[in-house]
Amino acid sequence: MKTIQFREAICEAMSEEMRRDESVYLMGEEVAEYNGAYKASKGMLDEFGPKRVIDTPIAELGFAGIAVGSTMTGNRPIVEYMTFNFSLVGIDQIINNAAKIRQMSGGQFKCPIVFRGPTASAGQLGATHSQAFENWFANTPGLKVVVPSNPYDAKGLLKAAIRDEDPVIFMESEQMYGDKGEVPEGEYILPIGVADIKRKGDDVTIVSFGKIIKEAYKAADELEKEGISCEIIDLRTVRPMDRKTIIESVKKTNRLVVLEEAWPFGSVATEITYSVQAEAFDYLDAPVVKLNTADTPAPYSPVLLKEWLPNSDDVIKAVKKVLYQ
């Protein structure tokens, strides 16, 4: 094993797949000359050249469309958005083209493409740069949605996403690019659609994904001091969702808290809550509690932003609520 940063895990995954398959290429704003806005493509221009690591104009609709069209001629593009907030400019290409090519062509065209970049808040960036759209994309048939929380998962899942025959939305975080973690020296791939139990426990199940899961870890450490055992499930993939792992855990712990960095209405947490009540209602000893951001645009003020985001204290309160403590 070796210890690398999250950004290095992303770069390694892309580079390894580009060495393996000449049809894979990367395009986006500042991915080449600048080595990526977050240095996640550092050194790739030098290795692969400007035909496979392509700097684009600030025109997400345009380069998303070029990338989608190129899949029809046998290419496997990786499209980097500087933030998924900017993907809204190209969302027509994602929703109406990438997600529907296979069905609308009667299976004649596949669309092996990865749209990747940071999601959700990253500090004081204001309301239009702090949004989480995992549930938006997951609501679209034809798209797969992956949200890793650490370097190991990021590398293994990104390699799987690049090899996938369907479009994959791969969401990262500006606040995780510097995170360090162990990854194997050799090649490995993690299957899309499989959650991971990060921490075993008996008293309550906590489901989360992405960078916000760190708050669940903090809460679990504090709760353990009080004799409360938390089982933490990292969803890793929002769509397809690994409902089986969640259900089996709830059947063991009989209680569920869902932690998500997104608005509460129509969220991923809402979908999880419905699935559990539909498939494990008789096992629940308390109502499910879901923790989301406040139902407002993200504030710029650091004081308000702290209140807007769910944190470990919120998780602790939620766990004690489902335990009737």
Q: Which residues are catalytic?
A: 60, 129
- H or E segment to which residue 284 belongs: none
CA distance 155 to 151: 6
What is the chain's percent helix, strand, coil content, to nearest 5? Answer: 40, 20, 40
Closest CA to 168 of 63, 96, 240: 240
DSSP secondary structure string for all residues of 81-109: -SSGGGGGGGHHIIIIIITTHHHHTTTS-
3-state secondary structure of 207: strand
For residues 323 and 203, is the Cβ–Cβ distance under 8 A?
Answer: yes
Rounded to whole angstroms, how far apart are CA atoms 190 and 45?
A: 26
